[in-house]
Amino acid sequence: MKILVTGANGQLGNEIRLKAKKSSNTFFFTDLVEQEGVETIKLDITDVDAVTKMVKDNGIDVIVNCAAYTNVDKAESDEELCHKLNAEAPKLLAQVMKKAKGMLLHISTDYVFGGEANNLPCTEDMKGKPTGVYGKTKLDGEKNIIATGVNYVIIRTAWLYSEYGKNFVKTMMNLTATRPSLNVVFDQVGTPTYAGDLAEAIMRILFDYKIETAEEGASTGARKYSKNGIYNYTNEGVCSWFDFAIKIADIAGNKDCDIQPCHSDEFPSPVKRPPYSVLDKTKVKQSFDVKVPYWTHSLRKCMKNLMKK
């Protein structure tokens, strides 16, 4: 298959680059921002002509959309651009792939929840009630994709980190090494997600799609994919941001920083974060035989790589 990855210079995109080296598929990595040391094709996912040309000229079978507007706080004052990237662009990508008889694999978020008083892991069929612009536009993006009738897989994930870019793990490694004390919120509960594990799950889904839809002499997307749907993926387990920070400091060996729990309202924000957004992963595990590592195991793996640098 020929696979186009958008937002390829982000955390997840870079992890997919690594997995692609061992794949028999052909990958095209695109982004609006160049990254030193890696080959990137410049592509604006809001430009329908550019996307259509890219798909047609290269015979693209699947788009993996990792691109998004992800600044949760800034989204509240930048709603137009956030909606364009998170709601309109996914619809455009879906429409192009519908015409190409291919599939769109789209990355969504736990922020589609947040207005619910949850105390059990969120399942894919729960109605989303986002509390801010970011979550609302991501939920709108999901709905827009489904409405096109394209073959699709939507993956909701949360608390993403990796060896690439800026993320909570890198920030806490630095702060707990340089500050005598630190306050971290304990009233937001979810599960960290190592981007490398999510990339591995995506590769497994792509393999499944290739096997099911491939027919001799026919396009891979010539028929409806039986596993079209929304799926949750994070690592296993549950923690608060405070627990997450404690574990990061412990693995890093930063023993001198006094980390204390605090409430979310001690850090004023224009948007309310989901207080409980643990995602149930039963569906993705059963549908694609995906193995999901426990969050502390993956955290150790990532931090080991980071501490080598």
Nearest in space to 164 (alpha carbons), one of 300, 35, 293, 3: 35
Burial 108-130 (b: 16+ CB within 10 A, else e): bbbbbbbbbebeebbebeeebeb
Residue 134 annotated in active site: yes
> Catalytic pick from 69, 111, 134, 231?
134
Phi then psi for 184, rounded to 5 degrees?
-135, 140
Cα separation, 50 vs 42, whole angstroms: 10
* Residues identified as active-site: 134
